[in-house]
Amino acid sequence: MKSAFTTKLMQWNRTRNKRTMPWKGEKDPYRIWLSEVILQQTRVEQGWEYYKDFLKAFPTIRHLASAPEQKLFKLWEGLGYYTRCKNLHATAKIIVEKYAGIFPSSYKDIMSLKGVGPYTAAAIASFAFNQPYAVVDGNVQRVISRYFGINTPVDSTAGKKLYAELADSLLDKENPGLYNQAIMDFGATICKPRNPLCEQCIQKKDCQAFQHGWVLQLPMKEKSIQRKNRWFTYYMVKYKNRVYIRKRSAKDIWANLFEFIIKESNHQQEQANALTASIISDVIGTKDFKIHSVSPFFKQQLTHQTIFGQFVTVIVPEPLKDKSFQLVTIDELSSYPFPKLINSFLEEQ
């Protein structure tokens, strides 16, 4: 027997849910997986165009698996959290090699895929294969927390277990895919983080948060995000109308994207010192250079950190000895994937 919550939610979904998305109602597990990976750290409005572009470039898993990494990252450019893109590529190859290009249908096999967690696995299993697995994302946690009046932090061990159990208990086992989409849509359009539409909510009579005035206090989180600032000085070193770039490989932000020669500073004053001739000489590996221009500061806000970047264009008469960098023409720069910070600079050149 369905709970009152589930019955009302499904009624709302049939009669009032007007939320549209290009992947809504999709049954192809490849397309569902792609949309879920794109949306992991991305707003629907932003992810929409990326989703369509990816499907155009890679209509099947086999197309994705055989794609050159550089092309993949270029398409992903601007979405951030590039580990998602790397995992997408790796998983496509696994599906081709292990499952003959056919997306696995069991929850256990889906969970074993690289970069796939309980939420994404539940979404694929329920949307594509109508299997009874409840999705638990931020929207779902918020709806459940407010409805039941739960103040257990959603990011605590106890909270994760509790919300998963409650989500499963509310799931419409006969229509899991439809239900999962409905509760996420409900959280996104009615039970919103800010300015929730409580007066329009069909659950308000039974919602503990609404009845007790707790709506804006729930859900609660245990951990606060620790933010930090970082200062990057980029040296755009030119030799005969070509520029030195390299792929960023460190286990850090923007791995697998390209960059110019870089010096990271610990604070703003140290970054200012990076413009002195001796420091430039040490970083680029030659004393024979000419500073052509120094850019204003560019800023990129990430989830946990803010990057302040400045670009120094340097001309050298001889090739650099550092073989970890490659020389490309100015025109070729547009074919390489760069962080948004660097693209902002290049767009002004």
- In the chain the domains, ranked by start, together with CATH numbers, are 4-217 (1.10.340.30), 228-347 (3.90.79.10)
Quick one: average pLDDT of 82-95? 91
Q: In this predicted model, what pLDDT tens digit does every residue of 289-325 receive, in sequence order?
A: 899 999 999 999 887 889 999 999 999 999 898 888 9
Catalytic position from the list 36, 77, 270, 332:
36
* Kind and range of the H or E run holding 150: none
Residue-level pLDDT at 227: 80
Residue-level pLDDT at 10: 95
Residue showing tokens 């605590």: 156
Residue-level pLDDT at 302: 84
Q: In this predicted model, what pLDDT tens digit does every residue of 6-61 receive, in sequence order?
A: 999 999 999 999 888 777 888 999 999 999 898 887 777 788 889 999 999 999 99
Residue-level pLDDT at 89: 94
Examine the pLDDT at 1 and tell me if it is beyond 60. no
The whole-angstrom separation of Cα 68 and Cα 184 is 34
Tell which residue, 88, 73, 74, has the closest CA to residue 38: 88
DSSP one-letter string for 315-347: E-SS--S-TTSEEEETGGGGGS---HHHHHHHH
Residue-level pLDDT at 58: 95
Residue-level pLDDT at 218: 92
**Backbone angle region of 268, left / alpha / beta, with phi > 0 → left and psi within -120 to 50 → alpha:** alpha
Task: State yes or no: is 69 an active-site residue.
Answer: no
Q: Look up the pTM and report it.
A: 0.76
CA geometry: angle 94, 178, 140, nearest 5 deg = 85
Residue-level pLDDT at 225: 64
Residue-level pLDDT at 255: 83
Contact of 259 with 248, CB cutoff 8 Å: yes
